[in-house]
Structure 1
Amino acid sequence: MKRFFIKTFGCQMNVNDSEKMAGMLKDLGYEKAESPEEADVIIVNTCSVRAKPDNKAYSFIGNLKKLKKEKPSTIIAIAGCVPQKEKEHLLRFEHVDLIFGTFNFVKLPELLEKAKEGRTTEILEEKIPEEDHLPLIDSYLENPYVAYVTVQRGCNRFCTYCIVPFTRGRERSVKPELVLEEIKRLAERGVKEVHLLGQNVDFYRYKNTDLADLLYMVAEIKGIERIRFTTSHPAGFTEKIARAMKEIEKVCPYVHLPPQSGSNRILKLMNRGYTREEYIQKVEMLREYVPDVALSGDFIVGFPGETVKDFEETLSLVERCTYDQAFVFEYSPRPLTKAYQMEDNVPKEEKNRRLQILQELIKKQAEKKNLKRLNKVEEVLVEGKSQWGDKLTGRTRDNKVVNFTGNENLIGKIVKVKITKTTPFFLEGQHHEGDKNENRN
């Protein structure tokens, strides 16, 4: 039996691309392997948004050299954003058989056949012309109840630190009909929750259909009980989207709205397209429509030229907006971006100091918010067994992870859970007996 192994680095869109590639391999008769050593085809799906995942991918690829020597028939492929920006650097890995980019992963079966005949490299500079006319690819879902659906790819923003426009191309949205057909097929497979993905999902637009319109359409699909969307861009988040969140019960009260910085001077250097004041207005508008919304974000510390005063303005923005969770990164220069030409003048030690201060502030906010849930009953979609002991795990509507005691027959259902313990990062609880919803399919 032929087997495949896919190692994924980076964002949820990479996860979705990997699931689609796994679906294609399954259609070709492959089964999933639990380790690279068991596989006949190994795909490394790379990310280049920051230096850390970039380096991790290179390390992983290098470690496959020994495996290739021991099992020469194994096909090793590199996909994703790294090939799209630096194909030449990857050619030095002589044990790699196939290199392809973000625009043509849908051609994986054809590319594999070419790789069997000899080393193959195919990097397209723009989307394949027939992208909107290809047959739907059934993803190989790691989680059978939660699925990612890519509705928008690429970016036109050109933030000065970001390489996405160079690795994912310009913004392009998927036809609503194709999105709805894919989600209907997912619902037939038992999926309860879908995440609409886009590099800047708020800028989704196909002819006269925007993201808010799409949310109303998806909500009509039978079997889908929860809808999320990510990643939002503050410049694209509109009152129409907030209104849709309020009016559509299936849309979860959670928004990932990355500010990146709280300093207007740094936001301008980053070319983010909004001011601190405009970001705060968006958050306040969102909370007027959805008072219980959970807010998360991304922050970069140590951007070129960021002063202590700039960083303090970021801290005050966090104190003003309050977050349920956030991802904080030290600035790392990315080739091709405008910031790559700027002097990276914040010392590593200072970047790390600012990162820890910001992380601690957000941790305290999350801890305070979660503590309010103690002894309350939450609605949880049970996704499977928890990695913590013999518990189950799932998420609330506002995206809080809950580990709780309960019978395994609850997996895949939406149930009530009483919260018995809180931490800044997750909740603990027990199945609320007598739950009328526990038999929901």
Structure 2
Amino acid sequence: MNRVHIKTYGCQMNERDSEAVAAMLRARGYRIVANEQECDILLLNTCSVRDAAEQKAIGKAGYLQQRKKKQPDFVLGILGCMAQNRGASLLEQLPDVDLIIGTQKFHQVPGYLDNLRAAREAGLPIGETIVDIAEEAGSQNTIKDHLAHDAPGEEAGEAPVSAFVSIQQGCNMDCAFCIVPKTRGDERSRPMEDIVAECQALAARGVREVTLLGQIVTSYGRRDYAHTGGVTPFVQLLERVHAIDGIERIRFTSPHPRGFKDDLVAAYGRLPKLCGYVHLPLQSGSDRILRAMNRPYTRERYREIVDALRAVQPDMYFSTDVIVGFPGETEEDFAQTRELFEACNYDMAYVFKYSIRSGTPAAGLADQVPDEVKEQRNQILLEILQKNSLRRTAQLVGTIEEVLVEGRDKSGTHFTGRTRGNRVCVFDADPRLVGQLVPLKIERASVSTLYGELVLAGVNG
């Protein structure tokens, strides 16, 4: 009873949390398996950003409860944001769940599973569901382990060449629509030395690209480290990671527009390893709606940031988050969002229809926008995005892009990698090129994927 499958919903932070839980479990003697049908223990790492995300996880857990009737020893756990948000109330819908573990308790999962296993192996009754959603000081420092590949007892696979590195947990922004401060807690940063050491260890294992993660990543260390010569702690961290031999590319997510001071904008011109790709959440292009959302910037300031970044790197790639149908959003408000959305010429965007999240300031607002209006506005922005993305990828046809070879694609017949602008590429290559930066001539393009051929003689297999 030691085979574990972890299914992850939601953002890159959740992916990183799942990876850390997997590493801790494997160190305790558990096996991580890719096929959920082959596991003894199934953990759902959940998301609460939208109600639909919670309902999807609840539906999956409800389905898995039926498996417990056939396999009494099967263990089902719910981790992460939904567990934190709902706690023991989940048992009203899911009475057979064994574990409900919040966002500050991921590191306790191995111990709780050990206890469950010991009880079952001794033939003892399990008793009540384990529910642990308490806050814990220093919990941000526990997400530091990475799952090694090709270890004994694990499924074979190519070693990763890119990795997520958690640098901060929690959020103090209190955006009116967002449940994250409730599910992730107050803003807490990891020590800079620990982060640098983690990146150094990853480089020694062959990782070439790191993505620094935080709820508001650009707020990193603002209470813990001094600004030095006008350089914020986050940019100081970028400089430290940039100096690590073996790390060739640096990305980060998710920032806040207010974090893009002059020092961060300038970093894109002086730190060559910092990729020319920025995820810059917009949420709305209307100043009135931004104030209602408690977003401390204006449409004018947002556009200034975009223009400043493109001045440093003219070919900068941008992605964003936008919410349509926030309470009180009028046709004029949406027209302003649409105008700014078009002007910024995004390469990628996550467009969400506003959904009520209980416990947030916006949940009780009057003047809710009808669902059909939300859907119409959603489709308008998605159509603009598709045209922008297709135009941008089409411009790359015939050019040569630097690509980090990550491994085989899902078909297993080709290889895949990403450009500095975060575009996915598919091409033929020799397996020995995994982890290498290679020049790729782009031959054709879809909305989100580039297809090409290596230009180095004798290395395309």
Give 1:130 shift.
4.3
Q: Secondary structure at the match of 2:259?
A: coil
Superimposed CA distance per residue, residues 302-357 of structure 1 (whole angstroms, 9 cap, x where no aligned partner): 11111111111011101221111111011110010011001362111111111111
Q: Give 2:246's aligned residue.
A: 223
- Aligned-pair distance for 1:383? 1.3
Are 1:108 and 2:109 counterparts? yes
Alignment match, 2:301: 278
The 3-state SS of whatever aligns with 1:372 is helix
Query: Hey, what's the Cα distance between the residues in 1 that align with 2:143 and 2:450?
Result: 41
Q: How many angstroms apart in 2 are the aligned matches of 1:388 and 1:265?
A: 48
Where structure 1 has 5 or more consecutive residues not aligned to the other structure, the ranges are none
Cα distance per residue 1:261-281 (max 9 Å; x no partner) = 101111111111111111111
Moved more, 89-98 or 264-273: 89-98
Give the counterpart letter for 2:248 in structure 1. E
User: Structure 1 CA distance, aligned partners of 2:140 and 2:414?
Assistant: 42
Q: Which residue matches 2:137?
A: 129
Instruction: Kindly indicate whether the alpha-carbon contact (under 8 Å) linking 1:262 and 1:314 is maintained by their aligned counterparts in 2.
Output: yes
Write the distance in 1 (CA, Å) between the matches of 2:358 and 2:134.
17
Cα drift, residue 284 of structure 1 = 1.1
Residue aligned with 2:296, SS? coil
- Identify the range of structure 1 (232-241 vs 106-115) with the bigger mean alpha-carbon deviation: 106-115
Q: Which runs of 5+ in 2 are unaligned?
A: 120-125, 150-156, 227-231
Contact 1:153 1:171 in 2 (8 A): yes
In structure 2, what residue type is equivalent to 1:159?
Answer: C
Aligned with residue 338 of structure 1, among 323, 341, 361: 361
After superposition, residues 32-431 of structure 1 pair within 5 angstroms as: 32-92=32-92, 93-116=94-117, 117=119, 118=126, 119-126=128-135, 128-131=136-139, 136-140=144-148, 144-205=160-221, 206-208=224-226, 210-343=233-366, 345-387=368-410, 390-431=413-454
CA RMSD after TM alignment:
2.0
TM-score by length of 2: 0.90
> Identity of counterpart residues, as a percentage?
43
* Conserved? CA contact 2:144–2:165, under 8 Å: no
Whether contact under 8 Å (2:324, 2:334) holds in the other structure is yes
2:130 is matched by which residue type in structure 1?
T
How does the TM-score come out when normalised to structure 1?
0.94
Distance 2:376 2:26 in 1: 46
Give 2:229's aligned residue: none
| Letter in structure 2 aligned against 1:77 | G
Q: Give me the whole-angstrom Cα distance separating, in 2, the residues matched to 1:344 and 1:414.
A: 52
Higher mean C-alpha deviation, range 278-287 or range 135-144:
135-144
CA–CA separation in structure 2 for the residues paired with 1:113 and 1:27? 12
CA shift digits 1:43-84 (9 cap, x unpaired): 100000011211110111111112212222122111001111
Q: CA deviation at 1:435?
A: 8.2
The Cα shift of 1:148 comes to: 0.3
In 2: Cα distance, 1:389 partner to 1:7 partner = 22
Contact 1:145 1:412 in 2 (8 A): yes
Q: Which runs of 4+ in 1 moved over 4 A?
A: 132-136, 140-143
- Report if aligned partners of 1:111, 1:120 keep a CA contact under 8 Å in 2: no
User: Which residue pairs with 1:8 in the alignment?
Assistant: 8
Change (3 A) 1:202 1:435: farther
Check whether the contact 2:171–2:185 (CA below 8 A) recurs between aligned residues. yes
Instruction: Indicate conservation of the 8 Å contact 2:97/2:129, yes or no.
Output: no
Distance 1:98 1:298, change over 3 A: same
> Quick one: distance in 2 between partners of 1:67 and 1:150?
34
